[in-house]
A and B are shown apart, each in its own frame.
Chain A
């Protein structure tokens, strides 16, 4: 990121910038050379930043009215919904915002998978991203516990109980997590504390994520290295800002539709029943965004191995830059990988579906096959594909894909379709 040397125009600006180079930073952010062929799948980074800020701001307001106590949490949520000015709006934005956040992060992750954005030199960006994703899951899970409804309570019970699978110390760890011998008030208060803390950790990691991004610069749909700045790039402002803004507004329309017209469709009805340790719900299901991992957990008959499988499914992603042996980034030039990519997308959707169904009969069988395939994709298909696949010729630059020395005109045509 060797930007041209920046000097503020005003005398005060220069004085200030010599002591704290904030203006240099602002200049770097506006001038930041961005590949000009980025498509709309690249707008989700900005959308995710918006989601995080929205969650933090609405969360702060909710925390002013919420009471983290087993006897009062449910009541205080209803107080927010009924008596706090626009409390219903704030809470519905926060609750649906979590789903929107995950929707956006899944698109963001799968964009990265398609265009190979996790490959060298962007491994650190990717790993920070995986940590953010993990923290998001933790924050979402603990946030879902706070209203202290039936799904909150029983979800917390099921998930914390997973730790009991650890040999020898498992039971002790669970008691330690609960702060007692069952999920109760101490559990609620610590979950609230952590739920409040994690978003700020995520915020810090987002800064690192963007910092790490600004070192090599953005990947792009063609997936080749480009010179920066050059005729292949545009300054971040105004080109990318306005494009991200446009995409964000479209995203907000969908978001608003959920908030104003179907605010409860993504939640579970049982969570409007106050937590009752004596009544277990018929089906305990997590929120939709955790379902694929829930399916993996349940598809293994052994508890400990199930937990290991579930955690591996997430951590395996961190090793992805090394599991994918192909030197070519973008799936546009990888005809075989492209097909396996879409099979993986279908596989994850299937896992999500069976995760919502009871773990029995055909559902269980499908879950097992889908789980096996998930690991097969990352552990076998990707490493092998890198050696076996015949990739299409790469263009020399993103502006002249056809003239870029590619002998295969048809392939060059195809890639311009992917804009």
Chain B
């Protein structure tokens, strides 16, 4: 068995090395402590609630989040607004519904079961309003970008004046972390842009972290239960493996061969 594991270890080391050297070429992203990383990683509720605030007040004027419903805001493992709060949030949006009995479309206040209201009717309208660039839907944005949360977090703080020799077209901005450094979204965050209801100081760094946490939850709403179940499953498997190992030893001891 020793031989088996030695070979397995060497091969995985080799593959791991390839994987790392692959990652080494990427830009160094800004680092921060994410509460949802690690074996027991959980979301910071307050950060999720603040992040939702940043999303609604800033991002949502251009970016949709079509896979989320208002009910998600009150669900376990998310921002966990109370049901009343979530209902109030939903009701603050006008939702197009219909057709009614007369065949007409009408608007009504949002309900928990409604999807997040989209800022634009369709993709073309979104492009027309943003100089031809489509602000991507944010539901799974974190998972759709190579660097994940670190990338989004860095990007939000990565706006700089272009270096000498780089000329930018109208409506194009320079961002240190953007692929190719040219981005069509202007810098959105500035200190004190939103007023957090819990009194947290709304620095650019704080808002970036909060909204990125919120986006992570939006992309992986079951992350907490995944981590919890994963820990239990792996502990269970390890205990079972140990039991089976000793059973195996016992059974094989009937014949004189080492397992």
Contact = CB atoms under 8 A, between A and B. Distances in A.
Interface string B137-163: 001100111101000000000000000
A242 B140 contact: no
Counting contact residues on chain B (CB < 8 A from A), the size range is 35 or more
Interface in A184-238: 234, 238
A122 interface: no
B143 A36 contact: no
A272 B139 CA distance: 10
Interface in A371-419: 417-419
Contacts of B139: 78
Contact of A39 (B4, B11, B72, B231): B4
Contacts of B251: 238-239, 242
A283 to B, nearest CB: 11
Contacts of A340: none
Interface in B43-71: 67
A92 B72 CA distance: 21
A246 interface: yes
A419 B258 contact: yes
B144 A253 contact: no
Interface in A248-294: 249-250, 252-253, 256-257, 259-261, 263-264, 269-270, 272-273, 282
Contact of B240 (A39, A75, A249): A249
A270 B140 CA distance: 11
Contacts of B145: 269
Nearest to A79: B67
A45 to B, nearest CB: 15
B238 A253 contact: yes
B89 to A, nearest CB: 18
A140 interface: no
Interface in B130-186: 136, 139-140, 143-146, 148, 179
B106 interface: no
B244 A245 contact: yes
B257 A243 contact: no
A349 B15 contact: yes
A133 interface: no
Given A242-B251, A246-B244, A260 B257 contact: no
A78 B221 CA distance: 11
Contacts of A82: 67, 72, 221-222
Interface of B is mostly: helix
Nearest to A267: B143
A174 interface: no
A252 B235 CA distance: 12
Contacts of B18: 349, 352-353
A418 B248 CA distance: 20
A249 B237 contact: yes
Could you say which of B139, B247, B257 has the most chain A C-beta atoms within 10 Å of its C-beta? B257
Contacts of B143: 264, 269, 272
B226 interface: yes
Interface string B226-259: 1101110110011011001101100110010111
Interface in B11-58: 11, 14-15, 18, 22, 39
A166 interface: no
Interface string A285-322: 00000000000000000000000000000000000000
A175 interface: no
B1 interface: yes
Contacts of B72: 82
A37 interface: yes
Contacts of A242: 244, 247-248, 251-252
B241 A417 contact: no
A256 B230 contact: yes
A256 B232 CA distance: 10
B3 A39 contact: yes
A89 interface: yes
Contacts of A253: 234, 237-238, 241
Given A36-B255, A256-B234, A256-B237, A41 B4 contact: yes
Interface string B205-224: 00000000000000111100
Given A234-B257, A272-B219, 14 more contacts: A82-B67, A89-B226, A243-B248, A252-B237, A253-B234, A256-B233, A256-B234, A260-B234, A261-B39, A269-B144, A270-B144, A349-B14, A349-B15, A419-B258
CB-based closest 3 A-B pairs: A260-B230, A272-B144, A40-B4
Interface of A: 36-37, 39-41, 75, 78, 81-82, 88-89, 92, 234, 238-239, 242-243, 245-246, 249-250, 252-253, 256-257, 259-261, 263-264, 269-270, 272-273, 282, 345, 349, 352-353, 356, 417-419
